[in-house]
Structure 1
Amino acid sequence: MHRFPIRVYYEDTDLAGIVYYANYLKFIERARSEWLRELGVDQLRMKAEGLVFAVRRIEADYLSPARFDDLLAVETGLSALSPARIVLDQRVLRDGKVLFAAQVTVVCVNDAGRPARIPAEVAARVQGADLAPK
């Protein structure tokens, strides 16, 4: 399981002083990018080869609010892997309490936006990742 720390800034909050709901999607996006980077996946090289990852589906649950200056942790874990998609479970926590949980399906697409196989080297690195948080 990958863990990515993130601090809540004033710009992340709404008028009520809590994290604006759409910002959780930004938080988990950053964590996914860092997860791939730490696995040794070079997304710039993939792009040069005509392949990118795109989010196809997100199922999200907002469980409890985060607030200005909270120190959060985003946990990312592999749930499933197929030739063209990766399913991840991601959670945003504060002091061990889950505030937000999402299952994210990411697909590999080519320059034309059509589904493509995940490169074998990338799939091997992802397959070796820890299982999703439970």
Structure 2
Amino acid sequence: MSDVKDPGAGLAGYFRDDVHILPIRVYYEDTDFSGIVYHANYLRFMERGRTDSLRLAGVGQSELHADGKGIFFAVRRMTIEYFKPAVMDDLLHVETHTREVRGASLIIDQKIRRGDEVLVTGEVRVAAIAGDRPARIPDHLRDILMGKKLVGA
């Protein structure tokens, strides 16, 4: 029997300073017919990085949404550069860093690495929305997003 009280402990990655790092193993299902990671799957890896960054910082998506009455984050724009491919069984690290928080939006920089190699970079502009309209990001959430109050750091 394990001494771990939370069976999900460690699944959300970790913080190094204000950068969230999420380890991801590449599985067969992530690859295309040639054995390399299908390009759209990097988007999934980055989404997991952004979500687990919030989770580990103490902000659960379900609490933010508050049964449809809270704030939702929606990707407004994403710019991605692919440098090198990942292949099955690679251990990747998704790095997520909030660069800027504005009134109702934020800019997140992300990298996917294999060891010291940068495979993919992304810049993500995310909009905060409540009731189908842009919503100002509350100050306490702004502090968390900018790494000033990291629970998991």
User: CA offset at residue 10 of structure 1?
Assistant: 0.3
Q: Output the amino acid matched with 2:35.
A: G
Structure 1's consecutive aligned runs of 4 or more residues displaced over 2 angstroms after TM superposition are: none
Aligned residue pairs: how many? 128
Paired with 2:86 and 2:60, the residues of 1 have a C-alpha distance of 32
Match of 1:41 among 51, 59, 66: 59
Q: Give the C-alpha shift of residue 128 in structure 1.
A: 2.5
Q: Any idea what SS the aligned residue of 2:41 has?
A: helix
Q: Determine the C-alpha separation between the residues in 2 that align with 1:45 and 1:13.
A: 33
Q: Identify, as 1 or 2, the structure richer in helix.
A: 1
Counterpart of 1:72, as a letter, is: L
For normalisation by structure 2, the TM-score amounts to 0.80
Instruction: Provide the rounded CA distance (Å) in 1 between the counterparts of 2:138 and 2:101.
Output: 12
In structure 1, stretches of 5+ residues that fail to align are 130-134
Q: How does 1:104-115 map to 2 (within 5 A)?
A: 104-112=124-132, 114-115=133-134
Is 1:11 paired with 2:29?
Answer: yes
Give 1:29's match in structure 2, choosing from 33, 37, 47: 47
Match runs of 1:1-134 below 5 Å: 1-48=19-66, 49-112=69-132, 114-128=133-147
- Describe the superposition over 1:51-78 as per-residue Cα deviations: whole angstroms up to 9, x where unpaired: 1001011000000000001000001112
Contact 2:77/2:126, CA 8 A, preserved across alignment: yes
Q: Distance in 1 between matches of 2:93 and 2:146?
A: 23
Report the 3-state secondary structure (helix = DSSP H, G, I; strand = E; otherwise coil) of the residue aligned with 1:36: helix
- TM-score (normalizing by structure 1): 0.91
For structure 2, list consecutive stretches of 5 or more residues without a partner in the other structure.
Answer: 1-18, 149-153
Q: Distance in 2 between matches of 1:62 and 1:88?
A: 17
- Which entry has the higher C-alpha Rg, 1 or 2? 2
Alignment RMSD, CA only? Answer: 1.1
Asked which structure has the greater RCO (Cα within 8 Å, sep 6+), the reply is 1
Displacement of 1:25 after TM fit?
A: 0.2
